[in-house]
Structure 1
Amino acid sequence: MKIKGVFIVILTAMLLTSCNKQKVYDSYQHTPVTGWERNDTLKFDDIERFKTAGDYATYLGLRINGYYPFMGLTLIIDKTTLPSHTIDSDTINCKLLDRHGNSQGIGGISYYQYNMKLKNIRVAKGDSIVVSVRHNMKREILPGISDIGFMLVKVK
């Protein structure tokens, strides 16, 4: 019986890792503990040049803790394709809490994780992109946001 359990764990691990072959980038950056300032733009500029041309799905990840004071969050995401310097901007309004104050994210005790789909991008072989993220809230400094992430997945 133990051998069967070990086999199932190994098989599950293999399946989960094989499902991510299309993921080409996934990284998070921390925001300051004192709060994320409006003029503090987070940059994802370590994305390698694309080995294959095509369409890529883009996702934004967000981790907040219990100190975040609002029900939603407005973010501006700029994706600059190089060498053409083409800029694709997204403004997203993230609904983080329902009207009763319950989190819409995944998590529990201290942090909640949110994943938002952004617009797909099309790149040529050898292109690279730089992604910048900033908040567009009325409050200058936002407490409670711990991490912002960006993920790229090759579309089949």
Structure 2
Amino acid sequence: MNQRFVGIIIALVSLITSCNGDRIYEEYQGLKTGNWDVADTVSFEVNQLSIPNRTLIGIKYNKDYEFRNLYLRYILKDSLDQTVESKLLDIPLFDSKNGKPLGEGYGSTFTKYDTLPIENQYYSIHLLQYMRVEKLSGIETVGVKVVKK
């Protein structure tokens, strides 16, 4: 009985630790006002990461979000604060045919992850909304997750 119990505990611990083994960096920032102002930049300082890795953006949104997608610009900077890369992305948040939220979630809140097509090493990443509205409502949290390839 004791050996079986110890075996179950060891299996559970190894399962839990193996699920997080790919993550190198992960941070999220909530939008305090409930709106993402056009002038607000959400920034993450990730320092120098070893390559190869994959960078994901996480968008936590709710049903108050008025649009089908999110236009987002990401800017990568090096340790001297010089821009290394800058691209505009179109991230779909709702299905264009049936209007159902994409990503995972429950109730009225969902989280959508999308891979950033990053080609260069970077020190910090800066995110800006490009939706042509002054205050973008319905976005609760924005985050960056870096995982091993």
Q: How many residues align?
A: 147
Per the alignment, residue 112 of structure 2 pairs with 114
In structure 2, stretches of 5+ residues that fail to align are: none
RMSD: 2.6
In structure 1, stretches of 5+ residues that fail to align are: none
For the residues of structure 1 that align with 2:120 and 2:12, how far apart are their CA atoms? Answer: 32
The alignment status of 1:71 with 2:65, answered yes or no, reads no
Partners of 2:76 and 2:126 within 8 A in 1: yes
TM-score (structure 2 length as normaliser): 0.83
Per the alignment, residue 140 of structure 1 pairs with 134
TM-score (structure 1 length as normaliser): 0.79
The alignment status of 1:100 with 2:94, answered yes or no, reads no
Per the alignment, residue 54 of structure 2 pairs with 57
Per the alignment, residue 14 of structure 1 pairs with 14
Aligned sequence identity (%): 27
For the residues of structure 2 that align with 1:41 and 1:60, how far apart are their CA atoms? Answer: 14
Cα pair distance change 1:65/1:10, threshold 3 Å = farther
Q: What amino acid is aligned across from residue 61 of structure 1 in structure 2?
A: G
Q: What amino acid is aligned across from residue 100 of structure 2 in structure 1?
A: N
